[in-house]
Structure 1
């Protein structure tokens, strides 16, 4: 395996690392194939990771469609986990065989927003699996400064560290207005990130948390893990019944909720979120929505109700907290990964995610 320093960099342990690896490569929207590509070179401050699992999420579906700013050709995958295979001579805190996960976000540090200390708004925001090679490959290189050891999670559970970092970032937006302690909260959507938000909020001391989502394995997991206080389960096949359930939710909470989190990524539900926010409340747009779609919100309602509206795009400086929360067991994600697929079956993984029969999907790279 080539190392940019030209030296063997694995604490004297010779590693059998191939010259080529298997990777999922997109040449453009909806055009992908599993190919053999060179194993990436690593530098003096880098760690080469042998990827064993990588989670798949809604962002990957958007990338599949050419949305969310992917730069093709691209190896996607931003929720990877694996074992240290080799590292550069300046790496001191990792050993071959350590289970690790990485912060995959890269603000540029020099643009208008970065220089204002607003890195989430970076004009050149980069992310592994979106704008640079990701973890749907047998090997990936990470800077030592972006890498974290995983001590107590399984490989499947560790794929939830990156979405947990996104959830931490979302809560940071809410805390800008003050602590959510004592708040009444509505979360629309019960996907993995919505459930992670609920689990994080559980540790902050809200007074009531309601999850409104369609029936299925995601809500089953939420109820089994007692994620919320109240659950509103919709039958997606019966719009008339669902409309009555939304109305009852309004009747049961006539003043709305202090915080409404739209975590489904469904545009119609993003519009509905405003109908359930109380005066002076906060609305967090947390889902990833199609770039071309719009919602209708009356500006007078924003003016009169004095709503605070947040977006939550990716994460910066949140990964360490995500590792602490999940690896400590404070946030229990056991059983959240319900389906795994081989890399060669990536289309089946996408189809399963679209079919809504899975809670969380992981792609197996190495066993």
Structure 2
């Protein structure tokens, strides 16, 4: 008899259904994971609405932690019972991008929870090459390895100088991970801007030097604090107007990091003369790229604290509610919402 498992399945744009699916069996080189928690991400919301090339039906969820439930032939790095997390991005290793080490830009890219079944189910399959032991961490903490891996890739792109000053717009879960990633990478003072005072209070708890809310004279207030501008300016908002304002707040020789996901058709106006005359660098940072190990080390060393970011834990039947929280960030004070497939009921 085929074993089945509950899963939250996106069946059409805007529609989530609870279904029973076959429990997958691992083939050679594959690991079956009993999912402990899956973080809800903005990507999941885009997929819900049919963006990012979504193909339905889809079991979304790519920020996954759990324990190894079964392994296929040839798996060497983990064994049954091990706590693990995953890098959801799968790549061919042969295309132009892969052969230059930019695996997240693979021309044949697949990803758990995006094009392949992900973590909004009690079990999921993953190639062993993408499974990382999470010893020394709680499984809740391990569920942050993927978004923190995205931050780690941004820091590898940015390479801030030790002692740099930094500015971050956005104090949602990813913004607070970005803030802590900047600190872990050598930035001495990080200023955070967000319209929600509760988020700013959390930013201060996690080490923000200054916190401000947006207002008409924000630029002047920031430059009063740092008259020469910031060595690093960054955003985790995806708001084009925020991106457009970053160069004016960046110090001579500084860097602008575009980290948030803006609408695909959005544009901003930048002065090429300003970039040239003040030796500014503008960087993008997309997804993660072999950076889960760095994320795990930050977590194990206590350089990044994710526990205060978890505000809600919902069962599989709460996936639609979790996506609604993501669509309205101020709803119920949500920061990071975890889906716990084996939880019998909602816990806050």
Shifted more, 346-355 versus 47-56: the winner is: 346-355
Segments of structure 1 that go 5 or more residues without pairing to the other structure are 2-17, 235-241
1:94-243 alignment runs, 5 A limit? 94-175=78-159, 179-225=160-206, 227-234=207-214, 242-243=215-216
Going from structure 1 to structure 2, the CA distance change for 1:95 and 1:324 (only over 3 Å counts) comes to same
Report if aligned partners of 2:180, 2:303 keep a CA contact under 8 Å in 1: no
CA contact (8 A) 1:168 1:321 kept: yes
Following superposition, the deviation at residue 282 of structure 1 comes to: 0.7
1:98 CA displacement: 1.9
Q: 1:252 aligns with which of 221, 225, 229?
A: 225
Asked if 1:268 corresponds to 2:241, the answer is: yes
CA contact (8 A) 2:184 2:298 kept: no
Give the count of matched residue pairs.
Answer: 340
**Partner-residue secondary structure (3-state), 1:218:** helix
1:365 corresponds to which residue? 341
**1:214 alignment partner, SS class:** coil
Structure exhibiting the larger radius of gyration computed from Cα positions = 1
Bigger mean CA deviation after superposition, 69-78 or 318-327: 69-78
Q: Contact between 2:166 and 2:182, CA under 8 Å: does it hold in 1?
A: no
Name the SS for the 1:171 alignment partner: helix
Relative to structure 1, the CA distance from residue 131 to residue 330 in structure 2 (aligned partners, 3 Å threshold; closer, same or farther) is same
Distance (Å, rounded) in 1 between the aligned partners of 2:138 and 2:101: 35
CA contact (8 A) 1:105 1:128 kept: yes
What 5-or-longer segments of structure 2 have no aligned partner? 344-348
Of 325-334 and 101-110, more deviation after overlay is shown by 325-334
Q: 1-side partners of 2:83 and 2:102: how far apart?
A: 31
2:311 pairs with one of 338, 354, 358: 338
CA gap 1:216/1:344 in 2 versus in 1, 3 angstroms: farther
Q: Contact between 1:108 and 1:126, CA under 8 Å: does it hold in 2?
A: no
Take 1:335 and 1:308, find their aligned partners in 2: how far apart are those partners? 33
| 8 A Cα contact 2:173 2:309, kept in partner | yes
Q: 1:45–1:88: 8 Å Cα contact kept in structure 2?
A: yes
Instruction: Give the stretch that moved more between structures: 246-255 or 343-352.
Output: 246-255
Q: What secondary structure, in the 3-state scheme, does the structure 1 residue paired with 2:213 have?
A: strand
Q: Does residue 305 of structure 2 align to residue 324 of structure 1?
A: no
Q: CA deviation at 1:149?
A: 1.8
Q: Does structure 1 retain, via aligned residues, the 8 Å contact 2:36–2:66?
A: yes
Change (3 A) 1:340 1:254: same
Structure 2 length as normaliser, TM-score? Answer: 0.91
Normalising by structure 1, we get a TM-score of 0.86
User: What are the superposed Cα offsets for residues 273-318 of structure 1, whole Å, 9 maximum, x if unpaired?
Assistant: 2221123211111011111222222333223333211111111110
Contact map agreement 1:150 1:327 (CA 8 A) in 2: no
Point out the more displaced range, 188-197 or 203-212. 203-212
Report the aligned-residue RMSD: 2.0
